Structures are given as C-alpha cells and as structure tokens.
C-alpha cells in the first residue's frame, strides 16, 4: 500500500458563525470639523490573518470606519478611522490529521457610537465572523508497521470530499476623475461598492473581473447635497496554490483605502481594493476502510467519521423592494431624503426540497431633513434567498455574504419605498458518515496449513472481503460470491 492511493478526507472540526465585538475611543485631529451629530457609521472588516496552535486558531485584522456627521458649522462632513480586532476559536486537533484547512470571513452586524466631546467619540462595532476548520485525515499507511508489507491487504474505497482554500490578492488600485465637481460644493464623503461579475479558475489562479462604483457625497454651504458616481471596470488575480481546475470560487472585493484629491481639472479618486476569495471543490479520493495480514495475527480498528462535501458555492443576487409607513419609519411626510446607507445579514439556512433557503434581514439607515433639521431613521426588512443545490443532500452547514448595492429611499403616498440589490455569495455543505481504518496492530506469525476450504452457506452479511479476512487469505483466493452463491471456495 502506498500513500498516493490514500486520499485526504475533509472532516469538520469547527463550523460556526458567532458574534465578536471591538470597542475603541477615538479623537479627531484638529483640522477635522467638530462633531455636532453623527448620522451614520459604515464599518468594513478587512480579511484577518490567522495563526494555528495546538489548541486554538487566532485571528486579527483591521476595521475601517467611515463616519458621516453634521459638523460644528452645520454642514455634513465625514471622517475615516480604524482599529484592530482579534478573536480566537478552540481547535481540537487530532494526531491523525495531516493538515488543517481554515477559512474565515468577517462581516459587520452593527455599529453604535457615543460622542463624549466635540472631537472625541467611542465606537462599538459588532462583528460576525464565520470560521470553518477542516482536518485532513492522514493516510492509514503510517500504521502499517510490524508486518511484511507484501502480506498486508487493504480495502480501498472512494468518496467525494471537500477541498477548500482561502487567499487574498495584492491591493488592486482603481482610479477615476470627476470633472464636473460644482465650484460651490465640497466632497463630504466618498464611498465605493465593489461587485465581482466574473471569476475564472485555472492553474492555481483566480482571474476576477468586476466593477467599482465610486460615489461622492458633495455638500454646499447652503445645505444642498448632491451625489456624483462613476463605475470603473477592473481586473485582479488571486493565487490559490493546489487549487483543482474547475473549482468554484466566492470572491469579495473589500475597499482597503480611499484617497480623494480636489484639483483644477476635477476630483481625483483612487481606491485600493483587496480581493478575498474562498475556493471549493469536491474531490473523489481513495481511502483505506479496513486491512489485515495473511502472515501474522492482527487486529484492526475502524471508526466512523463525518466527511464534509460541497453542495453549492456560487454568487448570488436578488432585489429588495419594500414599502413601510412613514409613521413606522418615524419620518414626517414633508421630509426630504438626503441619502441612505444599508447592510445585510443572512444568519439562517434551511434545506427544503433540495433547496437551500437563506433568510436574514436588511438594515436601512435613512438620513432625512425636515424644517432644516437633519435626522436619522432605521428600518429593518426581512429578506430571503433560495437556490437549488447542485448535488443530492440537505445542507448541514452553510455560509453566505451579502452587500446592498445602490440602496435608495423615496417618499410616496405616505409611505417610504426602499429598494436595493443584494449581491454576494452562498455556500452549503453536506456530510456523509464514512468508515475508515483507524489503526491496526500485528502480533505473532500465523500457524497456517495449506488446504482447500469450502465455506458453505456464508452469512448474509458476508462479502468476499470479510471471508478472505476471516480465513486470512488473499482476496483473490475467494472463488464465488457470498452474496449470491450457496458456498464459496477458499484456495
């Protein structure tokens, strides 16, 4: 038996989405406008670095904040801040694992702020990490010691099992110029939405095409607000070592930095985007489920394990169109909608008739003005996305990520009409109970006599393998099929 014939079975060690929190106190620099009122805070969690020990997996990364607020002069402006986050999960690492594969994505579940002084504030950010850790079951060949290899027979079986990996790109720089910036207005805030439209996997590399939608919120001294936007196509590459050809990849575009410079020819914007990918495939692998020796006493021990396999991994998108009463949104009917921020969180999944049904909510932050006063309202809308699975089986584990593209709000007939496109990806996984060889021990040589044995009326549960193992002969010595014949001949 050689190690090459034994596949790596992916066994789930840790699969969970959970809450984490990061809190920080910040002081705005003197050149930044004082804070009169915070309107909204957008938080972006950059991909974490991960560190494995014998008992835990540790993660740390950066959260970037974009704060839009009313300044001391009454105008809308913004500030950019950042802080570090860290969390860990327990790791029950078995000696039988040859490797552990870890995936982690970090979403934002909400942000709250408290202003303690004109330039001082506290930000509490609720993160929602989703961590997956899979142990690669080591080949059983390492246990085949103490016996002549030529006398050891192994039972090989095959199964579909999950291959997975994660990787990030270098920063992709995307630039554009807004030539029509009004002279009497200033850039209050800059935001970017990144949509990945196409991903090709080949030779260990993901080639991604997408569009970056850069939006400038411009404010005038008279309180006027105007939004400028531009869509810039881009391309980026992510190296994923050992990725099988044809693997499915779920890719996010995460804005790592933004710079805005106002010049004589307009407004120059440069955005740095990190492409964060999780790649998945099902591999057909061969493993050892049992073994014995024909020359010496032996005892084999098997165990049942849950082998994880992929059901689906694909991009997903759908639209949200909802109406709520202005009374429920606490918005007077004479108000003016200034701008909208939104985020989504899909936190549940169920399997229904070979479909994966994801449910969650979309949170809209509506900034509006009435009689010169600027206020904020929050509205949560339940959302649902369902898709057919590519393979038979029910989803036992899932993962998803969605962002809201171009959220809008308008007042119509005493109602607040909310629209947005949800863009992201969904993953679902199933499990198969599989018997594998755990270990085998060898003892004294067998006292064997040359003979021809006829086994009459084998048990209904017998197979050629079980009969050969019982009488310690090579499987090729079994003449007949215990499942159909009345007897078998053991040479």
Read off the pLDDT of residues 167-183 as tens digits, 9 standing for 90 and up. Answer: 999 999 999 998 877 77
Question: Would you kindly state where each structural domain of the chain is located, as residue ranges?
Answer: 3-286+307-434, 450-491
pLDDT at 393: 67
How do strand 225-239 and strand 205-220 relate by DSSP bridges? antiparallel
pLDDT at 22: 96
pLDDT at 143: 56
Separation CA 120–CA 27 (nearest Å)? 5
pLDDT at 4: 38
Separation CA 429–CA 477 (nearest Å)? 41
In this structure, what token pair is assigned to residue 103?
């995936």
Helix or strand (DSSP H, E) at 326 = helix 326-329
Other CB atoms within a 10 A radius of the CB of residue 155 amount to: 20
3-state helix, strand, coil in the chain (%, to 5): 5, 70, 25
Separation CA 341–CA 352 (nearest Å)? 33
Question: Tens digits of per-residue pLDDT, 77-110?
Answer: 999 999 999 999 998 877 778 889 999 999 998 8
In this structure, what token pair is assigned to residue 337?
């909608």
Phi, psi of 329 (to 5 degrees): -85, -5
Helix or strand (DSSP H, E) at 50 = strand 49-52
Phi, psi of 393 (to 5 degrees): 125, 160
Q: Which regions of the chain are under pLDDT 50?
A: 1-6, 142
Tracing tokens 């900034």 back to the chain, one arrives at: 367
Question: Tens digits of per-residue pLDDT, 104-160?
Answer: 999 998 899 999 999 999 999 999 999 999 999 876 654 566 567 778 888 888 889
CA geometry: angle at 61 spanning 55 and 64, to 5°? Answer: 155
In this structure, what token pair is assigned to residue 326?
């202005």
What single DSSP character describes residue 149?
G
Helices (H) and strands (E) in the chain, counts: 2, 24
Contact indicator for 373, 404 with CB cutoff of 8 Å: no
Tracing tokens 């309107």 back to the chain, one arrives at: 39
């Amino acid at each position: 038996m050689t190690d090459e014939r034994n596949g790596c079975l992916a066994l789930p060690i840790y699969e969970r989405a959970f809450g984490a929190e990061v809190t920080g106190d910040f002081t705005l620099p003197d050149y930044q406008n004082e804070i009169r009122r915070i309107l909204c805070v957008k938080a972006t969690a950059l991909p974490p670095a991960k560190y494995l020990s014998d008992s835990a997996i540790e993660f740390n990364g950066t959260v970037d904040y974009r704060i839009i607020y009313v300044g001391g002069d009454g105008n809308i402006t913004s500030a950019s801040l950042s802080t570090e986050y860290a969390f860990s999960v327990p790791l029950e690492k078995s000696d039988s694992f040859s490797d552990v594969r870890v995936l982690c994505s970090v979403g934002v579940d909400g942000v709250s702020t408290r202003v303690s002084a004109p330039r001082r504030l506290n930000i509490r950010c609720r993160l929602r990490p989703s961590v997956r850790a899979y142990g690669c079951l080591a080949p059983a060949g390492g246990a085949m010691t103490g016996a002549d290899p030529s006398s050891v027979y192994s039972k090989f079986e095959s199964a579909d099992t999950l291959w997975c990996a994660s990787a990030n790109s270098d920063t992709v720089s995307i630039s554009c110029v807004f030539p029509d910036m009004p002279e009497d207005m200033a850039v209050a805030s800059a935001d970017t939405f990144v949509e990945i439209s196409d991903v090709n996997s080949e030779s260990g590399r993901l080639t991604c095409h997408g569009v970056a939608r850069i939006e400038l919120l411009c404010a005038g001294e008279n309180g006027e607000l105007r939004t400028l936007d531009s869509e810039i196509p881009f391309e980026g590459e992510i190296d994923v070592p050992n990725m099988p050809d044809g693997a499915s990849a779920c890719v996010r575009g995460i804005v790592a930095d933004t710079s805005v410079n106002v010049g004589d020819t307009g407004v120059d914007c440069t955005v740095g985007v990190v492409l964060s990918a999780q790649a998945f495939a099902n591999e057909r692998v061969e493993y050892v489920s049992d073994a014995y020796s024909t020359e010496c006493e032996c005892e084999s021990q098997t165990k049942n394990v849950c082998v994880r396999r992929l059901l689906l991994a694909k991009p997903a998108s759908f639209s949200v169109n909802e109406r709520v009463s202005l009374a429920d949104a606490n918005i007077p009917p004479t108000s003016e909608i200034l701008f909208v921020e939104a985020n989504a969180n899909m936190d549940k999944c169920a399997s229904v008739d070979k479909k994966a049904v994801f449910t969650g909510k979309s949170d809209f932050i509506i900034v509006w003005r009435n009689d010169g006063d600027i206020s904020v309202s929050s509205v949560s809308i339940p959302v649902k996305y369902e898709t057919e699975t590519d393979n038979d089986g029910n989803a036992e584990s899932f993962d998803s990520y969605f962002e809201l593209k171009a959220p809008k709000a308008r007042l119509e007939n005493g109602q607040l009409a909310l629209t947005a496109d949800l863009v992201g990806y969904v993953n679902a996984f199933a499990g198969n109970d599989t018997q594998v060889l755990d270990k085998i021990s060898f003892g004294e040589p067998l006292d064997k006599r040359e003979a021809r044995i006829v086994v009459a009326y084998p048990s209904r549960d017998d197979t050629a393998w079980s009969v050969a193992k019982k009488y310690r002969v090579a499987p090729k010595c079994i003449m007949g099929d215990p499942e159909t014949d009345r007897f078998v001949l053991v040479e």
